[in-house]
A = this chain, B = another copy of it.
Amino acid sequence: MLEHVTGRWGSLVLAALEDGPIRFNDLRRRVDGVSQKVLAQTLQALERDGFVCRNQRTVFPLWVEYTLTPSGKDVSAKLLDLITYVEASMDTVLAARQRYDSPAPAENGARARE
Contacts and interface: CB of A to CB of B under 8 A. Distances in A.
Contacts of A50: 92-93, 95-97, 100
Given A8-B3, A47-B100, A112 B79 contact: no
Taken together, the copies of this chain in the complex come to 2
A82 B79 contact: yes
A97 B49 contact: yes
Contact of A71 (B5, B49, B92): B92
A113 B101 CA distance: 55
Interface in A53-93: 55-59, 71, 74-75, 78-79, 81-83, 85-87, 89-90, 92-93
Contacts of A93: 1, 49-50
B5 A7 contact: no
Given A57-B112, A113-B56, A114-B57, A101 B5 contact: no
List the 6 shortest-distance A-B pairs measured between CB atoms, nearest first. Answer: A50-B96, A78-B82, A48-B100, A6-B6, A49-B93, A3-B8
Interface of A: 1-3, 5-8, 11, 47-50, 55-59, 71, 74-75, 78-79, 81-83, 85-87, 89-90, 92-93, 95-97, 100-101, 112-114
